[in-house]
């Protein structure tokens, strides 16, 4: 007896961004893998399906034909298609073990817990909010997507594909490393050879590798206060004794470092989150202290490319003549955060160990992604994108500064060379966590400063407002709503 599959199992979402053919294929594949359709069952004809979904018949035909080539369907004649007798994935559900009556107590099985710090809240649906003052999110209108697609296509050329499809083992893309050595690092005043560079899955991956190599339970580490929560969490998980040193308007003061320090983690060119820049004389004193007390310095150098008010100062690594500075950079801030591609610069012996550790963790970052970025950099697209970003962010910076001043809000810190955010200080008694929640109801997204002070349980009056993702025309109205929400916090009866 013939079994027919109703056309009603198909659904088209024209707002999803996924092609119509892809949606049809996904429906069939999901039904097959979930066991909702049986081998031999006939699908609705292409004509019937096209009429039901109000799509062209050729779209349905091409989707069916692709499923035939993949082995999910069989064509019985020119217009009839049925589920293949042995489609991919069929029968896998029978191999799954049945659920036991005595589930595992994972709280006792796990030897380490990684939920040790509050993360900066960034809702995944932030684009639907009219006033997203979020740091680190991109404005897609400033990015050259066509150029990126072209570079991705170039990376799939036969010669490149054969290379990137291979197992790199512990190696990195030679073109990308060479570009970093010849173009990126010299802009920061750094000279490095290819064997002194390791490609990482973002700056956080580089930070994790470094902490694993230089810290253990007997070590002593120093980080800034306030400090990026990912840095403080990584140090805490290393088991080292962690000391926080309060930053001032010039960043981390070297005179406040304890004598038994093994490593200092700093963001000297652009402190996170205040934006303070460490002056040259203080950098010199920090390097002198490192030599005298025999500690290493881990420099997280981010967002230096977004300079439009003044040229960024050279990296701390540029003044390092003894190899004590381990330098971390990333393309995620300057291109787009989902890229997750960074690099670690250190003496060759250290990089060899870092490469071995990375190999145990993830082998290497995806080869196609590395080669795509290499083309994007080498063909000049990267510099063109940065130029557009600097021009637009400069406009937004001015609008933000004027709006904040007009509303009487206090700027506690901002990058002297540019950047994409303001570090704000609310009045005494403000709870930034509560402010964030209240503002979200008004369509406004700001970031509480509390995650940057991991050792403080008191309410935090600091918060961060970014402008990389909010349209210029929405800045003024959004700042006005922030000011109104702060006033509401101090009305009688609001506590």
Three-state SS for 160-208 is HHHHHCCCCCCCCCHHHHHHHHHHHHHHHCCCCCHHHEEEECHHHHHHH
For position 412, what pLDDT does the model report? 93
Residue 151 pLDDT level (bands cut at 50, 70, 90):
very high
Residue 92 pLDDT level (bands cut at 50, 70, 90):
low
Tell me what the mean pLDDT of segment 25-30 comes to: 92
Phi, psi of 342 (to 5 degrees): -135, -170
Task: Inform me whether the pLDDT recorded for 120 exceeds 80.
Answer: no
Task: Inform me whether the pLDDT recorded for 132 exceeds 60.
Answer: yes
Average pLDDT of the chain to the nearest whole number:
89
Task: Inform me whether the pLDDT recorded for 310 exceeds 90.
Answer: no
Other beta carbons less than 10 A from residue 474's beta carbon? 18
Task: Inform me whether the pLDDT recorded for 247 exceeds 80.
Answer: yes
Please name the helix (run of DSSP H) or strand (run of DSSP E) that holds residue 74, with its range, or none.
strand 73-75
Percent of the chain with pLDDT over 90: 66
Q: Is the Cβ–Cβ distance between 222 and 265 less than 8 Å?
A: yes
Closest C-alpha to 319, from 271, 268, 284, 276: 284
- The two structure tokens encoding residue 470: 């909010």
Task: Inform me whether the pLDDT recorded for 389 exceeds 90.
Answer: yes
Cα 68 to Cα 6: distance, rounded to the nearest angstrom: 19
Task: Inform me whether the pLDDT recorded for 99 exceeds 70.
Answer: no
Tell me what the mean pLDDT of segment 365-379 comes to: 92
Residue 224 vs residues 115, 242, 276, 424: alpha-carbon distances, Å? 21, 10, 12, 18
The residue whose two tokens read 């589930």 is 103
Q: Is 304 exposed, middle or buried (0-12, 13-18, 19+ CB in 10 A)?
A: buried
Cα 425 to Cα 264: distance, rounded to the nearest angstrom: 27
Q: Is the Cβ–Cβ distance between 311 and 184 less than 8 Å?
A: no
Q: Is 428 exposed, middle or buried (0-12, 13-18, 19+ CB in 10 A)?
A: exposed
For position 323, what pLDDT does the model report? 93
Q: How many residues does the chain have?
A: 495
Global pTM value: 0.80
- The two structure tokens encoding residue 400: 């933000």
Please name the helix (run of DSSP H) or strand (run of DSSP E) that holds residue 131, with its range, or none.
strand 131-132
Task: Inform me whether the pLDDT recorded for 305 exceeds 70.
Answer: yes
For position 434, what pLDDT does the model report? 94
If phi > 0 it is left, if psi is from -120 to 50 it is alpha, else beta; for residue 369 that is alpha
Tell me what the mean pLDDT of segment 353-363 comes to: 91
For position 125, what pLDDT does the model report? 86
Per-residue pLDDT of 444-483, as tens digits, reads 999 999 999 977 778 999 999 999 999 999 999 999 999 9
Residue 2 vs residues 39, 48, 175: alpha-carbon distances, Å? 11, 18, 58
């Amino acid at each position: 007896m013939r079994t027919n599959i109703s056309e009603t199992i198909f659904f088209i979402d024209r707002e999803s961004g996924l092609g119509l053919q892809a949606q049809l294929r996904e429906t069939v594949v999901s039904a097959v893998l979930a066991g909702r359709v049986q081998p031999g069952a006939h699908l609705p004809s292409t004509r019937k399906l096209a009429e039901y979904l109000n799509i062209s018949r050729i779209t349905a035909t091409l989707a069916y034909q692709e499923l035939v080539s993949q082995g999910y369907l069989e064509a019985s004649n020119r217009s009839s298609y049925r589920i293949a007798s042995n489609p991919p994935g069929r029968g896998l559900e029978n191999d799954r073990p049945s659920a036991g009556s005595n589930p595992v107590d994972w709280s006792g099985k796990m030897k380490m817990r990684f939920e040790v710090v509050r993360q900066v809240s960034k809702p995944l649906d932030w684009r639907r909010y009219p006033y997203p003052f979020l740091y680190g999110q991109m404005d897609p209108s400033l990015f050259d997507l066509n150029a990126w697609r072209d570079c991705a296509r170039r990376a799939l050329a036969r010669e490149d594909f054969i290379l990137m499809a291979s197992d790199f083992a512990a190696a990195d893309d030679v073109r990308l490393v060479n570009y970093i050595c010849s173009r990126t690092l010299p802009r920061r005043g750094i000279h490095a050879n290819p064997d002194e560079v390791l490609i990482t899955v973002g700056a956080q991956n580089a930070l994790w590798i470094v902490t694993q190599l230089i810290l253990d339970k007997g070590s002593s580490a120093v980080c800034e206060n306030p400090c990026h929560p990912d840095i403080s969490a990584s140090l805490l998980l290393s088991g080292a004794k962690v000391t926080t040193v309060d930053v001032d308007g010039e960043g981390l003061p070297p005179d406040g470092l304890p004598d038994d320090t093994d490593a200092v983690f700093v963001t000297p060119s652009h402190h996170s989150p205040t934006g303070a820049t460490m002056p040259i004389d203080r950098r010199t004193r920090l390097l002198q202290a490192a030599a005298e007390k025999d500690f290493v310095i881990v420099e997280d150098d981010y967002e230096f490319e977004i300079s439009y008010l003044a040229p960024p100062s050279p990296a701390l690594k540029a003044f390092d003549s003894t190899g004590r500075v381990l330098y971390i950079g990333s393309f995620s801030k300057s291109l787009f955060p989902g890229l997750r591609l960074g690099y670690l610069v250190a003496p060759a012996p250290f990089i060899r160990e870092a490469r071995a550790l990375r190999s145990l963790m993830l082998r290497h970052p995806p080869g196609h992604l590395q080669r795509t970025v290499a083309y994007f950099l080498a063909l000049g697209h990267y510099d063109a994108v940065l130029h557009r970003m600097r021009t637009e962010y400069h406009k937004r910076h001015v609008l933000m500064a004027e709006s904040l001043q007009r509303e009487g809000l206090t700027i506690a810190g901002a990058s002297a060379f540019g950047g994409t955010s303001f570090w704000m200080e609310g009045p005494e008694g403000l709870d930034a966590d509560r402010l964030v929640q209240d503002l979200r109801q008004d369509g406004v997204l700001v970031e509480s400063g509390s995650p940057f002070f991991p050792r403080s349980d008191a309410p935090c009056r600091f918060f961060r407002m970014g402008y990389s993702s909010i349209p210029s025309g929405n800045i003024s109205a959004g700042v006005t709503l922030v000011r109104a929400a702060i006033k509401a916090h101090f009305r009688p009866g609001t506590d």
